[in-house]
């Protein structure tokens, strides 16, 4: 079985577990007044799980590929025998950076953690113009913080914990 089908199988398994949680466990603790609503907090996870299962099964059964495509692999297809030739170091570094970002977000504050994450992520991907990266990352971070904090009214701690609220 090709690598894309293995990934699709893992994706379908994850969507089935997610769907089980959305359909059978999320709605049990709803208060009675919310049980009469047409849209529940689990509606979006239910839709996501069903769509994910459908898309995963399409890839798993090879429905998206034409018959002539399936016979001859193209140069853009992932070849699991040549995984060492892909840029796995960058992918692993980005995943580790995401974990570090999640762990430092509360302690370092949103503005500092997100700006450092964006600059480091773009540096991992190969961008070397720091005089452009830093202002763009800081501007994007400030813009997102403003939207979430002021427009949506969701509190995000902007500064590190030792600087107070």
Per-residue model confidence as pLDDT tens digits over 93-113 = 999 999 999 999 888 889 999
Closest C-alpha to 49, from 91, 17, 4? 17
Distance CA 165, CA 160 (A): 9
**Contact 87/140 with Cβ under 8 angstroms?**
no
pLDDT of residue 117: 95
* Strand spans (E) along 15-99: none
| Low-confidence winner among 4-13, 34-43, 46-55, 86-95 (lowest mean pLDDT) | 34-43
Highest mean pLDDT (candidates 31-35, 90-94, 118-122): 118-122
Distance CA 55, CA 49 (A): 10
The string of pLDDT tens digits covering residues 59-94 is 888 887 655 555 566 666 666 666 677 778 888 999
The CB-based long-range contact list for 101-108 (8 Å cut-off, 24+ gap) reads 106/157, 106/161, 107/160, 107/161, 108/160
* Percent of the chain scoring above 70 in pLDDT: 84
pLDDT of residue 165: 56
pLDDT of residue 80: 63
pLDDT of residue 150: 86
Query: Taking the complete model, does pTM exceed 0.85, yes or no?
Result: no
**Tokens of residue 160, six digits:** 């590190």
pLDDT of residue 95: 93
The answer to whether the Cα torsion of 153, 155, 158, 164 is positive or negative is positive
pLDDT of residue 68: 54
Whether the pLDDT of residue 35 is over 60: the answer is: yes
Consecutive H or E run containing 130: helix 130-146
pLDDT of residue 76: 64
Mean per-residue pLDDT of the chain: 83
Mean pLDDT along residues 122-136: 91
**Tokens of residue 28, six digits:** 């049990």
């Amino acid at each position: 079985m090709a690598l894309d089908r293995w990934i699709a199988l893992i994706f379908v398994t994850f969507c089935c577990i997610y769907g089980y949680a959305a359909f059978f466990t999320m709605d049990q603790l709803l208060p009675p007044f919310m049980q009469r609503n047409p849209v529940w907090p689990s509606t979006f996870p239910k839709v996501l799980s069903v769509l994910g299962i459908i898309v995963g099964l399409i890839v798993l059964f090879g429905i998206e590929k034409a018959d002539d495509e399936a016979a001859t692999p193209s140069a853009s297809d992932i070849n699991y025998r040549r995984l060492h030739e892909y840029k796995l170091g960058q992918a692993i570094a980005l995943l580790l950076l995401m974990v570090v970002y999640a762990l430092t977000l509360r302690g370092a504050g949103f503005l500092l953690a997100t700006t450092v994450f964006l600059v480091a992520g773009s540096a991992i991907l190969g961008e070397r113009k720091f005089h452009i990266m830093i202002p763009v990352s800081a501007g994007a971070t400030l813009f997102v913080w403003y939207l979430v904090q002021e427009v949506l009214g969701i509190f995000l701690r902007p500064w590190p914990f030792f600087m107070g609220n």
